[in-house]
Structure 1
Amino acid sequence: MDGLTEADLRALAGARSFERGLGYLDAVSGVEVGDSWVTATVHGTERYEVELTLDGLRGPRGVTGECDCPYGMEGNFCKHLVALGLTVLAQRESLPRQRKAARDRAQDLDAWLSGLPREELLTLVRELIAEDRQLRRRLELRAASARGDLAGVRARVRELLDVSPFARYGYVEYADARAYADQAGQALSAIRGLTGSGRADDAITLSREAMRLLAEAAESVDDSDGWLGQLGAGLADAHLDACRAARPDPGDLARWLVGHALGGLDDGLTDIDPLDYEDVLGDEGMTVLRQLAVEAWRGNRRGWAEKCLMERLAKAGGDVDTMIAVYAADLAPNGHTHLTIARELDAARRSDDALRWAERGIRDTRELSAVDTALVDYLCDRYGAAGRLADAVALRRDHFRARRSLLAYQRLRAAARAADCWPAERAGALTLLRADAERQQGRHGGPVLVDALLDDEDADAAWQAAAATGASDAQWRTLADQTRATRPADALAVYLRLAEPLTRQTGNTVYEHLVSLLLSIRDCHCRLGTHDDFTAYVTTLRTAQRRKRNLMRLMDDHGL
């Protein structure tokens, strides 16, 4: 780690994690220096084990790190690693000496062990086995594997995946989940070892059994940090590696893969993708895989797992018609699935079919108010591109009538302007919104009519509508802002009304809102030439609010 700097740590961690790591320098303990690594414990929300690897192949200055905190487990260089790195940098002068001492210790230990007579070495190993249960289990696994004792390896794997030693009241709590995952990880190592020693067939058998046992165990483990998910992914990789080495019967493998995908036994814990096995399955196995997937889907067309498998296979094979058949078997009532089909057909350059499916989506939707807006947008874009402007306006009109929102109004306006018929469409749309406003007077949020007129930049009409049918405070504020230059007296009345209730509230957000209104009130008085009235208003307000120091400071900052 010669030459490592704080800048390198910042580059590894990013500015935020680096700054947060500065606050953990006093939390680092138990620093141990090896020839190519440094380990320590960092006490944060929990107790975390961290390790910096020196002279690695990645990262600035060849430094990488691992930490068992949630952020570190995602592969990030976390604040705990920053704290350890900074601690090491503080000892940079002594680091070469410590690394040399670690190398010397390792060489001395190796020389001593190499010189021990066989019996003494066996005695030492037996003592360590008696003291360390985890070591005993690892060696038992190696011994069973070396003997070709599949039953013995299976028994050890079962023990390693057993949650009972870690479960309190039948459940492995968060604090014990890491220890259980570490133990279960030894089963994964054993399975990989079988493949490496030329016994891939046994590795296939045991990896499948381990997946099932892990899935059962996961139901009783608080895996908030995802330890079991990582182990499940590792088992999936080990199974694939074993299959590539052993080359099992393609048909049997295809049947197992489909059963695993549809069985839902591990709830996604291993996340095996059958297509990852294409090189192992070959043409024969892939044919069986597709046949089984089709049979399963035909038997349960709305099954989530069956649909996912069929969709995956169809996409991989470029079979658009099969993919559409899968989607069409369970059409959403709001037209969303129709849109998905249309986009798939567009990707396949079948634009006419895509348009028919999109139009069918509109027809199939019972209530146009519930239709997926993206489907309406898609169709109108297609109509516009084809010069069918009247069709686009008609669809936008129908959608607006069903869902009288500001967005639907805006989309109708855009379509009608493109077709040069907005005045007539606007008159009809405003008639509907005016009727809605009269029926909904006093409801929370204010009428869409006011929003539509404001969006049309017809402030006078919006003001008249608000006065006739009511408006929300937010709408009145917008109205006052837009008309302050032309009707300052009316705007002033709005601002004063909105400011009054804020004077009885506290909090910085309230104060910022109030000061914004005060600035608008001042502008209105300036336009009206009533400066003295504003001065009197602010003086009275300051006297009444003088105990609100943050408000007073904010008013001072704005010259109020």
Structure 2
Amino acid sequence: MGSLTEDNLRALAGARSYERGLGYLDAVSGVEVGDGRITATVHGTERYEAELTLEGPGGLAGMCDCPYGLEGNFCKHLVALGLTALAQRESLPRQRKAARERAQDLDGWLSALSKDELLALLREQIGEDRQLRRRLELRAASVRGDLATVRARIRDLLDIGPFAQYGYVEYADARAYADQAKQAVSAIAGLTGSGRAVEAITLAREAMRLLAEAVESVDDSDGRLGQIGAGLADAHLDACRAARPDPEELASWLVGHALGDIDDGLTGIDPLDYEDVLGKEGMAVLRESAVEAWRRNRTGWAEKYLMERLAKAGGDVDAVIAVQAADLAPNGHTHLVIARELDTARRSDEALSWAERGLRETRDLAAVDTALVDDLCERYARTDRLSDALTVRRDHFGARRSLRAYQQLRAAARAADCWPAERERALDLLRADAERRKAGWYDGPVLVDALLDDKDVDAAWQAATRTGAHDRQWLTLADQARAGRPADALAVYLRLAEPLAEQTGNSVYDQLVDILLSIRDCHRRLGTPDEFTAYVTALRTAQKRKRNLMRRMDEHGL
């Protein structure tokens, strides 16, 4: 119980989820305290099941079947459950003890029942619980090898009809459908376990096809059908290992499955997982089929991926390169992939050649994969070809005049000991850009950012005054120039504060308070604190209804 504290809940959830959890305290119902767990239903957008583990290996933990919780996060529903449990902390030890005693009593009672009594109890539950009856019927059919019954039941399990309105399973019903569909995996595994692996292979493939068809009509936002697809893949592999089917037929099916568009990655089957089943004969057929399919469609993603997997598994770097080279991206990305493959094979000269070729063959240097530019410059730097690296950076900056390209040009020019002259050429380009795009620049001229990055604040201020600048840039300019030119900075801060004062929202209030602190500093430097006091007093009077803003201002002595 010691791990269940408000501080731990806040640490696990984060400030945002913790605050949101406070609004769900009235939505918690059906709290059930077990020995080491607390469960409840929390009503949010849907009805969610939340569970807190009090004494896990890492201390307090939780699970919730809401979308955020299924991603592994400690959600607002868990916070609400934890706070609800803390509200009754005095009675929790007694409830946990009672839960232990109930579990022991139940186990003791069941252990004392005879076989006939247990069967009678089970039959009673079967009569009352239709889903339990169907699950057990399916298991029984699997064990006795009743293929017709199992096939029909699997079709029923994967049928979206009972859950679909207007032919589509909405999110609210997707979980129930997935829980039902999951039984198909157990049935197929049961066939393998009862010595009928050949039939299990057939039904696994049928189930994959049915699931792939169903997923198109299900809101699978939580990815449950993907988990079922992976389960079917595992059941198929286990069945193949048990039955040892014809390797040529299996290889052909695997290639067809990998290249087909029906499954679309739902099962995640990797043909190489079947290497022990296929043997040399089957692997040879697998490779031949993959090569044939790739030759028919050299630009197909699935064909390329399968060929690469097989080539890499066989250590055939040249085959990997051949696959990549058959479909080169116009921005040089594929050339970079090939260069890295050659690096792995310790063929550095060829890797450099491919990287250079990638830059040479790029249709638009402004759209080149910047990772290729970085890679090539790093190769030149490692071999002291600094002038070549500078040329690449200069050309790239000329085509793509961004702050990042400017920074990279500066680093290369400094390494080559020629930055002053290079800087002037680069700034001339940026000045021309600033003049040409003065009216429609979205985020302010790069010239201002470049000068700020060079710590040339005076030149940046002059450029911003002449060509205009974005508010983001003016704020940075004011921050950097405040010590030397407080009056100019004050004018900027006052202008930026005005529209913020008309807006609402905590993030806006944080920005406004930061600017107010800067305004106060400017007045102190100018020796006009009374003017600041008058300004803040007027602001408080006008904005007094914004309680969160007033609280933030109080915290900072404003």
TM-score bucket (shorter structure): 0.7 to 0.9
Deviates more, 1:254-263 or 1:507-516: 507-516
Letter in 1 for 2:177: Y
- 1:5-24 mapped onto 2 (5 Å cutoff): 5-7=1-3, 15-16=11-12
Does 1:92 pair with 2:96?
A: yes
Letter in 1 for 2:230: A
Deviates more, 1:148-157 or 1:423-432: 148-157
1:469 aligned to 467, 471, 484, which one?
Answer: 467
Letter in 2 for 1:388: R
Letter in 2 for 1:7: S
Does 1:316 pair with 2:317?
A: no
Does 1:44 pair with 2:43?
A: yes
Instruction: Check conservation: 1:502, 1:510, Cα contact below 8 A.
Output: yes
Q: Distance in 2 between matches of 1:447 and 1:51?
A: 53
Instruction: Check conservation: 2:365, 2:396, Cα contact below 8 A.
Output: yes
- 1:170-209 mapped onto 2 (5 Å cutoff): 170-209=167-206
Letter in 2 for 1:466: A
User: What are the superposed Cα offsets for residues 39-98 of structure 1, whole Å, 9 maximum, x if unpaired?
Assistant: 9652333444578999xxx94499999765556656788865968898974513323431
User: What are the superposed Cα offsets for residues 465-500 of structure 1, whole Å, 9 maximum, x if unpaired?
Assistant: 233323333333333333333334433443444444
Does 1:226 pair with 2:223?
A: yes
Q: Distance in 2 between matches of 1:488 and 1:146?
A: 85
Letter in 1 for 2:533: V
SS at match of 1:43: strand
The alpha-carbon distance between structure 1 residues 314 and 145, as it changes in their structure 2 partners (threshold 3 A), is same
- Alignment-derived partner of residue 106 in structure 1: 110
CA offset at residue 319 of structure 1? Answer: 1.6
Deviates more, 1:210-219 or 1:471-480: 471-480
CA offset at residue 506 of structure 1? Answer: 5.0
Letter in 2 for 1:43: V
SS at match of 1:93: helix
CA offset at residue 376 of structure 1? Answer: 1.0
CA offset at residue 240 of structure 1? Answer: 0.7
Letter in 2 for 1:214: L
CA offset at residue 181 of structure 1? Answer: 2.5
Q: Distance in 1 between matches of 2:61 and 2:476?
A: 55
Q: Distance in 1 between matches of 2:523 and 2:74?
A: 57
TM-score for the superposition, normalised by structure 1: 0.84
Instruction: Check conservation: 1:191, 1:238, Cα contact below 8 A.
Output: yes
SS at match of 2:30: strand
Deviates more, 1:381-390 or 1:74-83: 74-83
Letter in 1 for 2:107: R
Deviates more, 1:7-16 or 1:338-347: 7-16
The alpha-carbon distance between structure 1 residues 266 and 24, as it changes in their structure 2 partners (threshold 3 A), is farther
- 1:442-461 mapped onto 2 (5 Å cutoff): 442-444=439-441, 445-461=443-459
Instruction: Check conservation: 1:211, 1:270, Cα contact below 8 A.
Output: yes
Letter in 2 for 1:459: V
Instruction: Check conservation: 2:33, 2:92, Cα contact below 8 A.
Output: no
The alpha-carbon distance between structure 1 residues 338 and 102, as it changes in their structure 2 partners (threshold 3 A), is same
Q: Distance in 1 between matches of 2:69 and 2:523?
A: 59
CA offset at residue 220 of structure 1? Answer: 2.3
SS at match of 1:169: coil
Letter in 2 for 1:376: V
Deviates more, 1:18-27 or 1:143-152: 18-27
SS at match of 2:331: coil
- Alignment-derived partner of residue 484 in structure 1: 482
Does 1:394 pair with 2:391?
A: yes
The alpha-carbon distance between structure 1 residues 398 and 557, as it changes in their structure 2 partners (threshold 3 A), is same
Identity %: 67
Q: Distance in 1 between matches of 2:285 and 2:359?
A: 39
Letter in 1 for 2:379: R
- Alignment-derived partner of residue 413 in structure 1: 410
The alpha-carbon distance between structure 1 residues 249 and 420, as it changes in their structure 2 partners (threshold 3 A), is same
- Alignment-derived partner of residue 268 in structure 2: 271
Instruction: Check conservation: 1:28, 1:40, Cα contact below 8 A.
Output: no
- 1:265-414 mapped onto 2 (5 Å cutoff): 265-414=262-411
Letter in 2 for 1:339: L
SS at match of 1:546: helix
2:154 aligned to 139, 152, 157, which one?
Answer: 157
User: What are the superposed Cα offsets for residues 334-379 of structure 1, whole Å, 9 maximum, x if unpaired?
Assistant: 1111111111211211111111111111111122111111111111
Instruction: Check conservation: 1:13, 1:76, Cα contact below 8 A.
Output: no
Deviates more, 1:89-98 or 1:547-556: 547-556
The alpha-carbon distance between structure 1 residues 12 and 446, as it changes in their structure 2 partners (threshold 3 A), is closer
- 1:509-528 mapped onto 2 (5 Å cutoff): 509-528=507-526
The alpha-carbon distance between structure 1 residues 93 and 155, as it changes in their structure 2 partners (threshold 3 A), is closer
Instruction: Check conservation: 2:167, 2:217, Cα contact below 8 A.
Output: yes
The alpha-carbon distance between structure 1 residues 405 and 70, as it changes in their structure 2 partners (threshold 3 A), is closer
SS at match of 2:97: coil
SS at match of 1:334: coil
The alpha-carbon distance between structure 1 residues 258 and 24, as it changes in their structure 2 partners (threshold 3 A), is farther
Instruction: Check conservation: 1:393, 1:416, Cα contact below 8 A.
Output: yes
Letter in 2 for 1:16: L
The alpha-carbon distance between structure 1 residues 37 and 198, as it changes in their structure 2 partners (threshold 3 A), is farther
Instruction: Check conservation: 1:37, 1:51, Cα contact below 8 A.
Output: no
**Larger Rg computed on CA atoms:** 1
The alpha-carbon distance between structure 1 residues 296 and 105, as it changes in their structure 2 partners (threshold 3 A), is same
Q: Distance in 1 between matches of 2:511 and 2:52?
A: 50
CA offset at residue 301 of structure 1? Answer: 0.8
Deviates more, 1:102-111 or 1:428-437: 102-111
Letter in 2 for 1:451: D
CA offset at residue 246 of structure 1? Answer: 1.0
Q: Distance in 2 between matches of 1:514 and 1:49?
A: 41
TM-score for the superposition, normalised by structure 2: 0.85
SS at match of 1:165: helix
The alpha-carbon distance between structure 1 residues 10 and 280, as it changes in their structure 2 partners (threshold 3 A), is farther
- Alignment-derived partner of residue 253 in structure 1: 250
Instruction: Check conservation: 2:523, 2:531, Cα contact below 8 A.
Output: no
Q: Distance in 1 between matches of 2:553 and 2:74?
A: 44
Instruction: Check conservation: 1:172, 1:221, Cα contact below 8 A.
Output: yes
Deviates more, 1:311-320 or 1:75-84: 75-84
The alpha-carbon distance between structure 1 residues 240 and 53, as it changes in their structure 2 partners (threshold 3 A), is farther
SS at match of 1:435: helix
Count, aligned residues: 541
Instruction: Check conservation: 2:449, 2:473, Cα contact below 8 A.
Output: yes
The alpha-carbon distance between structure 1 residues 64 and 237, as it changes in their structure 2 partners (threshold 3 A), is farther
The alpha-carbon distance between structure 1 residues 74 and 192, as it changes in their structure 2 partners (threshold 3 A), is farther
User: What are the superposed Cα offsets for residues 277-302 of structure 1, whole Å, 9 maximum, x if unpaired?
Assistant: 11111111111111111111111111
The alpha-carbon distance between structure 1 residues 499 and 135, as it changes in their structure 2 partners (threshold 3 A), is closer
SS at match of 2:474: helix
SS at match of 1:152: helix
